Every structure is written in C-alpha cells, then in structure tokens.
Amino acid sequence: MEPTTSLASPEFRNLLDQCVHCGLCLPACPTYAVLQTEMDSPRGRIQLMHAAADGRIDTNGAFAEHIELCLGCRACETACPSGVQYGLLFETARAAIAEESTTITPLERGVRWLALRQMLPHRDRLRFVARLMRVYQATGLSKFVRHLSFLPPSLRAMENLLPPLSLRFPNYSKPAPAIGKKRGTVAFLYGCVQDAFLTDVNTSTVRVLQRNGYEVHFPQLQTCCGAAALHIGEGQLARDLARQNIDAFGDRGYDAIINNAGGCGATLKEYAHLLADDPAYAERAKQFVAKLQDINEFLADHLHTPPTGSLNVRVTYVDSCHLRHGQKVVRQPRQLLKSIPGLTFVELQKPDMCCGSAGVYNIMQSETAEQVLDAKMADVAGTGATIVVTTNTGCHMQLIHGVQKKGLKAEVVHLVELLDRAYQISE
C-alpha cells in the first residue's frame, strides 16, 4: 500500500484493525522501555492513530508529540504475532502531521527544505560541507564548541555526531574493475551522508566487491534514497527521488544493485510500494527492487574469495533496525563476521533494540535518543568488545558518539571495513 496522507482512508483503517491490542510488542519497544508510558508504546500509538482516524483528536498536540517520539525502528513489527504493518502506519501518521500540523514552525520548514531538497540530493554540496567540517575539526574549534553550555540541543546533538572526517573522497567517474576472475557486474548506490561523512565505508565496499570478482559501476544520475524525507512525512519528495534513482539504475543489465546502509536499503526496497500508483514507474520500480541487495545479503551468497588474513579481535555487532526489522537481514552479517579468521564474535544481550539514531531522530528528539543510546551502550560495554560493527550510516555516527560518551576503548566500523582489513592482511 502506498502511504496515504488520509488517516480516514479504508486502507489505513484496515491496517489499524489488524492490531488486537495484545501488548506483546511492548517489551520490544525502545521508547516504551525508557519512557514507560502507554502512549509511547506501539499499542498506544496505534490507539492514537485510531482516535485521529475517527476524528476524535486532531494531528497536533498529543498525536504529534507521541508519534514524533517514535523511532520508526519497527521492532514492534518483528514482535507482533498479528502481522501489524507498523512501518506503513507510522509513515502515514508522519505524513499527516507534516501536512496538517500547525506546530511546525516556519524555521523548521526552512531547515527541512534546506536539508531535504538542497543538501541530501546533491553529492557535491554534501562533500563541500564535509570539507568545511574537516577544517572545523582540524582547527580544534570542535572541542571548544562542545563545551559551550548555551548550545541548542539539536546543534549539540549534531556536533556530538560528527565523525572524524576525511578530505579524500572516492572517485566514481569510471567503473572499478574486478580483481582476478570476473564473476559479474554490479551497480553501487553510494548514498549521500555516507559518501561525504564516512568515506572509508564506501571505499571498502567497492574494494571487497572487486576482490570477489565484481566490476562495480556508479550510475551518475543517482541521488539520495529518500529515507529522511519519508521518515518525516515528505512522501512526495521521496517519490521524486525514487523516480530519479530508477532512471539512473534501471534497464542496464546489472547483476545486482548494491547499497551498504540499512536505513537506505529499507526505503529503496519500498520503491515498489511508493510508486504502485504511478503507471510510468510501477513496473520499473518492481524490477529495481528485485535487483536491490544490501551488501550483507550479497556477500553472504557471493563471497567467492573469503579473507584469509587473521584479525585477533573481540567484536560485537549492532544491528541497524532497518536492516534487521525492515529488511529481515539478520543472519548474513553474523555469517560474514564469522568468516574472518581469528575474530571472536560476541552477541549483544538485546540485539533487537535500537541505538537511538533513527534518521534525524537523534537530532530532533535528542533527549530521548540519548536515553535509548545509554541502554545500548551498556549492552555494548558488557561484551568487552574492542570493535563495534554496524552497517548503517546513522547507527555508525550514533555509536561513535556512544563510545566516546561511555568512555569505551572501542572502535566503530562498518562490516565491510573489517572484511577489507582482513583482505589487506592476507596480501
């Protein structure tokens, strides 16, 4: 079902009616765990959606407050025995808030316009900002700003999340050739924030694909996947970005389209739903989704040349919610980690719980995000791991912040970076 902005539509009501209010999803919900209020649980939010659909409440006030406190992590979807599609309900509720709310200030609308339309879809602009931020970090200004007590919470959150930046960006102007025997041709969706702010992740992704015999192409027209837009209810913009990506990647005979960020992948896999009512794109969207694979999914089946270099490290893995709950990719990253010789893998106590990143949640709802992060970091600390592995841009930045905050002696990396290291040791 395409997300509709109409809370009163029969499709939305049918989705709501699948909930039998059993409450079995409550223990899985990170906001319920830290806030302990029914309205901040999946069942409570579904009740609010019922009330808004019936016209008993409007989309301002309590409705907006509790829906905006939802991480959209979809852990409740995994836990629900009745198959409630909470992700679709959430997107529709967010879209209704974005359209009808009177609480969004002109300043907020301006920031959204700038971020969603003027920055994220433009790789060169994001790289320019990353360069500026690198200079900001190099001058030591960052350490000074961190200690300013009057910094607004959202700016403080952004400052906390800034990872160590690089001035070297990958070159996507021509395909990267396969190393050794060529086994196929894949296209790489390099993302927006990942490309500019976590450059080594993309460099490693390409190298690991090359080492396994794949020629890697970089379609030039590609753009942001639309996840951030969708998450805050800008469905129309998300659909426009989806069309551009389908035009960029479509009909070119690639064996697969690869992405390496769980949050982006969950949105990319929704393209067929998003464009179901668009006659020009509905079929092409299905073909796009059929070719799309998260890097973990792809490598789990196509690790033709496993790494032989030994990494004697203790590692834990933090699932991206959108990879685990949204895409149901759970086994593959663990399988890949265990393929690295010498590595000791330690599972978290609660691997299904969110880290509090959730798109721009850690900037917009920084106080609750910090509480969710604290719970996650206590779990991470309990593993004694010196390397924390994740597979999503937002989680990666959030965990770097969490490691610093908790004072852990641990490094945060994407899984492909660890594979890449093992290959380099093999040489």
In SS3 terms, 345-403 reads as EECCCCCCCCCCCCCCHHHHCHHHHHHHHHHHHHHHHHHCCCEEEECCHHHHHHHHHHH
Query: Toward ligand SF4, which CB reaches closer, 130 or 395?
Result: 395
396 close to 414: Cβ distance less than 8 angstroms? yes
CB of 18 to ligand SF4, least distance (A): 7
Query: Toward ligand SF4, which CB reaches closer, 35 or 282?
Result: 35
Query: Toward ligand SF4, which CB reaches closer, 315 or 372?
Result: 372
CB of 239 to ligand SF4, least distance (A): 22
Residue 114 gets which letter from DSSP? I
Query: Toward ligand SF4, which CB reaches closer, 25 or 403?
Result: 25
Query: Toward ligand SF4, which CB reaches closer, 65 or 251?
Result: 65
Query: Toward ligand SF4, which CB reaches closer, 73 or 380?
Result: 73
Q: Could you give the CA distance from residue 410 to residue 407 in angstroms, rounded to a whole number?
A: 9
CB of 361 to ligand SF4, least distance (A): 9
CB of 77 to ligand SF4, least distance (A): 7
223 close to 244: Cβ distance less than 8 angstroms? yes
Backbone region of residue 61 per phi and psi (left: phi > 0; alpha: psi in -120 to 50; beta: other values): left
In the chain, what is the straight-line distance between the N-terminal and C-terminal CA atoms, in Å?
Answer: 49
CB of 314 to ligand SF4, least distance (A): 29
Three-class secondary structure of residue 407 per DSSP: coil
CB of 81 to ligand SF4, least distance (A): 6
70 close to 79: Cβ distance less than 8 angstroms? no
Residue 175 gets which letter from DSSP? P
CB of 312 to ligand SF4, least distance (A): 36
Query: Toward ligand SF4, which CB reaches closer, 204 or 392?
Result: 392
Residue 124's alpha-carbon distances to 121, 129, 130, in angstroms, are: 9, 9, 10
415 close to 399: Cβ distance less than 8 angstroms? no
Q: In this structure, are strands 344-346 and 292-294 parallel, antiparallel, or unpaired?
A: unpaired
Query: Toward ligand SF4, which CB reaches closer, 88 or 315?
Result: 88
* Chain centroid to CA 426: 31
Location of structure tokens 């970090």: 137
Instruction: Please report, as ranges, the residues that interact with ligand SF4 according to CB under 6 A.
Output: 19-25, 28-31, 42-43, 45, 70-76, 80, 82, 84, 86
CB of 422 to ligand SF4, least distance (A): 34
